[in-house]
Amino acid sequence: MEQVLKGVPAAPGIALGRARIRRETGKRRAEPRAADAAEELAALHAAAEQTAAQLREIICRVASRTSPKEAGIFKMQLLALEDPLFMDAVKALILGDCCTAEDAVDRAVLALAEKFRNLDDPRLQERAADVRDVGQRLIKNLAGAPDSGQPEAGILFAVSLAPSEVSLLEPTQVTAIVTEAGSATGHAAILARALNICAVMGLKDALIRVCEGDPVLVDGTSGEVFLHPEESTIESCRLRHGREEAMLARLAAQKELPAITLDGFRVELAANIAGPRGVPAALAAGAESVGVVRTEFLFLERDTMPSEEEQFAAYREIVSGMAPRRVIIRTLDLGADKELPYCQLARERNPALGLRGVRLCLRQEQIFGTQLRAIVRAACFGNGAIMLPMISDISEVRRTKEILGRFAAPRVPLGIMIETPAAAIMAPDLAAEVEFFSIGTNDLVQYVLAVDRLDENLADLYQPFHPAVLRLIRAVCEAAHGHGKWVGICGEMAADPRAVALFLGLGVDELSMDPRSIPAIKSVIRQTRRSETIALTEEVLALNNAPQIVSRLESYLRQVAGTSQA
Amino acid sequence: MVTGAFTIINSTGFHARPAGLFVETASRFRSVIKVVNGKQSADGKSVLGLMLLGAKPGAQIIIEAQGEDEAEALKTLAELIARRFGEEA
């Protein structure tokens, strides 16, 4: 019967085949060599030379099959093998503690791996796996055991696979790997991706559940492993995989193209992300910048406030990962609807109208100052900017500028979100204070229409295309451009294909959205003529109700899509 | 002996690849090279030692070189750090 196991997706793709299980052989020489340390040292020396030769061969092999970057993993292992910190420890154990060479290597590796595990950088912690890889290879060579041969064609199951073991796999034979240990960021996973072998890792008890020769379907994209898969599962997995491939191909084809109208008006398409992990997705989708980094991810679900260093490290990773593209970091946007154990907030009757966003930050100046300092420090690792949420009064901008003015650091561009009616109406004055606006449509709609956007009973009253909202957005765009500042849209409307014509007509400079929406919005922009949208926007803004506006925009969108297909 | 203080500005700090490059470069010189990060120090020709310093981007490290080619060694290593270990901008 079909059984589904879920692990960590480590290398994408699907593979169908028979399970091939590799069990740890743990071959160990039982008897110590004759007696004296000299012989152990000689054995160690010979094994180290053999290991170095094998690693050099792996380096050549990997460099020719993948790229110099992956080969670098084994260059590091070679350096580690010859490293005095490692070799001197092994020799000392042989000479001082009368260990066999195998035991000495084992103990030295354990001690080193422990040191790596104690580092606070997760990516460095994983280098413990490389140290163990070198150690295992040395021990195998000491025992005179050959490299594990090429497994039978199929799907390789193992407790864990060392990077060098993965590098030796033949992708035409081993179409997928499943391991109990490991993670998506480890060197074994990096190599699997480079070799196009799909992989699921961190799947506990995998070896207990599977039997040699079982039919297995591996989905390295979702992290699912199906034992004895049904025909229907295989079929739906293949279909999904086909769609993903097609989407990736479309993305790739469009990725480098600008979001430009048929008559040459260019819009910047940006990504909304919530942490360093969003960077690869943003780049893959062809984002030209990051329009909003939601920094709440750093603050939620923890007992203590994130330190300046911790915040700096996260912001810097995003800013340098996107460089030279712009990255707009939004300061903490929380309110009383979220629990922060380290910052007691009074209960509020109506959190949406309460102490949230910049209001909260200005009351908790220590939290705010720390965050601003971390952003300012990170900004120079690329092109960083600061954005303040929930502005409703000009004094909030000025007080923030005062705090920023106290830092002895280069100036970082400052912008604000326009999401309260007060900010939208005061836009001409606010535009003089900041470098840019980003209109947060989700909140702006709720505040302009006085409709709680989380209340399902009011869903029909929550109308993003309400003329009151659209006319206010027009006023904000005019205010920004009147002061020579740029204006963007973040919020769900930015990713709504129906709104594209409207934003083009208003001359919006940037649209920031979930990276997955970028390709669709880009293709609409590339099929539209801005000259037409200006007239359309005039026409639509003269209407007095949302249903008419939506129907007009929808018919225009159909017309645009229709002409491009003809 | 010559010494210099430098800020690590590449995106990952002393990770596997940058540490490897540092060791390769340092090993071209006869001088003894020491790298200090806060209270910890490491042999500049030991890739494990350098990684175990846990020097993150933004960290201030001190390099000490002692030997016949110390000045040249320090200059070359400083350039490597300034070039972000060859990382793309």
- What tens digit of pLDDT does each residue of A338-382 get? 767 777 777 788 888 988 999 999 999 999 999 999 999 999 999
CATH classification of the domain holding A319: 3.20.20.60
- Is the ipTM above a cut-off of 0.85? yes
- Residues 6 or more apart whose CB falls under 8 angstroms from that of A553 comprise A465, A498, A499, A501, A502, A536, A540
Average pLDDT over residues A9-34: 76
Query: Which residue from A69, A79, A324 is facing B89, i.e. has the nearest CB?
Result: A324
Is position A60 annotated as part of the catalytic site? no
pLDDT at residue A565 tops 50 = no
Straight-line distance from the first to the last Cα atom of chain B, in angstroms, rounded to the nearest whole number: 33
Question: Is-cis flag, bond preceding A324, omega within 30?
Answer: yes
Q: What is residue A28's predicted lDDT score, i.e. its pLDDT? A: 57
Confidence of residue A35 (pLDDT cuts 50, 70, 90): low
- Strand, helix or coil for residue A441: helix
Is A491 within a domain?
yes
Contact B20 A86 (CB under 8 A): no
Average pLDDT over residues A453-478: 92
pLDDT at residue A29 tops 60 = no
pTM here is: 0.56
Chain A hits for B46, CB-CB cut-off 8 Å, are 83-85
Query: Which residue from A79, A112, A121 is facing B56, i.e. has the nearest CB?
Result: A121
Could you tell me which of A23, A33, A183 has the C-alpha nearest to residue A98? Answer: A33
Alpha carbon distances (Å) from B22 to A335, A482, A506, B36: 47, 52, 53, 14
Is position A45 annotated as part of the catalytic site? no
Q: What is residue A126's predicted lDDT score, i.e. its pLDDT? A: 82
Structure tokens at A455: 């209340």
Cβ atoms of A306 and A298 within 8 Å: the answer is yes
A97 phi/psi in degrees, rounded to 5: -100, 10
- Name the one residue in this structure whose structure tokens are 């422990």: A114
DSSP H or E segment with residue A16: strand A14-22
Q: What is residue A336's predicted lDDT score, i.e. its pLDDT? A: 63
CATH classification of the domain holding A202: 3.50.30.10
Average pLDDT across chain B, whole number: 89
Tell me which chain A residue has its CA closest to the CA of residue B55: A121
Chain B hits for A131, CB-CB cut-off 8 Å, are 48
For residues A483 and A410, state if they share a domain: yes
Confidence of residue A26 (pLDDT cuts 50, 70, 90): low
Q: What is residue A12's predicted lDDT score, i.e. its pLDDT? A: 87
- Residues 6 or more apart whose CB falls under 8 angstroms from that of A456 comprise none
Domain that holds residue B17: 2-86
A385 burial type by CB count under 10 A (0-12 exposed, 13-18 middle, 19+ buried): buried
Name the domain boundary from A96, A116, A143: A143
| β-strands A436-440, A486-490 pairing | parallel
pLDDT at residue B79 tops 80 = yes
For residues A200 and A266, state if they share a domain: no
Chain B hits for A316, CB-CB cut-off 8 Å, are 11, 57-58
Is A174 within a domain?
yes
Name the domain boundary from A219, A249, A279: A249
Query: Which residue from B15, B48, B57 is facing A123, i.e. has the nearest CB?
Result: B15
Q: CA angle A64-A68-A71, nearest 5°? A: 80
pLDDT at residue A307 tops 50 = yes
For residues A394 and A508, state if they share a domain: yes
Q: What is residue A152's predicted lDDT score, i.e. its pLDDT? A: 83
Contact A79 B23 (CB under 8 A): yes
For residues A268 and A382, state if they share a domain: yes
For residues A170 and A139, state if they share a domain: no
Domain count, chain B: 1
CB < 8 Å & 24+ apart, contacts of A257-261: A257/A286, A257/A522, A257/A526, A258/A288, A259/A288, A259/A521, A259/A522, A259/A525, A259/A526, A260/A525, A260/A526, A261/A504, A261/A525, A261/A526, A261/A528, A261/A529, A261/A530, A261/A533
For residues A344 and A488, state if they share a domain: yes
Tell me which chain B residue has its CA closest to the CA of residue A315: B11
Domain that holds residue A200: 154-249
For residues A437 and A540, state if they share a domain: yes
Chain B hits for A72, CB-CB cut-off 8 Å, are 16-17, 20
Residues of chain A above pLDDT 70, percent: 95
Contact B51 A116 (CB under 8 A): yes
For residues A230 and A305, state if they share a domain: no
Name the domain boundary from A87, A109, A143: A143
For residues A277 and A367, state if they share a domain: yes
The model's pLDDT over A513-533, given as tens digits with 9 standing for 90+, comes to: 988 789 889 989 999 999 999
Is A11 within a domain?
no
Structure tokens at A360: 């909260």
Q: What is residue A566's predicted lDDT score, i.e. its pLDDT? A: 41
Cβ atoms of A388 and A416 within 8 Å: the answer is yes
Query: Which residue from A75, A116, A324 is facing B20, i.e. has the nearest CB?
Result: A75
Distance CA A369, CA A197 (A): 47
Contact B54 A75 (CB under 8 A): no
Chain A hits for B13, CB-CB cut-off 8 Å, are 121
B36 phi/psi in degrees, rounded to 5: -115, 130
For residues A360 and A279, state if they share a domain: yes
Is the sign of the CA dihedral A384, B57, A362, A276 positive or negative?
Answer: positive
Q: Which residues of chain A have a Cβ shorter than 8 Å from any chain B Cβ?
A: 69, 72-73, 75-76, 79-80, 83-86, 112, 115-116, 119-121, 123-124, 127, 130-131, 312-313, 316-317, 320-321, 323-324, 377, 381
Q: What is residue A481's predicted lDDT score, i.e. its pLDDT? A: 97
CB < 8 Å & 24+ apart, contacts of A127-131: A127/A76, A127/B16, A127/B51, A129/A162, A129/A163, A129/A182, A129/A186, A129/A187, A129/A188, A130/A73, A130/A76, A130/A77, A130/A80, A130/A163, A130/A187, A130/B16, A131/A80, A131/A86, A131/B48
For residues A210 and A97, state if they share a domain: no
* Helical packing angle, A530-541 and A546-565, nearest 10°: 160
Average pLDDT across chain A, whole number: 89
Active site residues of B: 15
Distance CA B54, CA A124 (A): 8
- Which tops the pLDDT comparison, A246 or B37? B37
For residues A236 and A265, state if they share a domain: no
**Active-site choice (A99, A187, A237, A466):** A187
CATH classification of the domain holding B38: 3.30.1340.10
Chain A hits for B19, CB-CB cut-off 8 Å, are 76
Domain count, chain A: 3
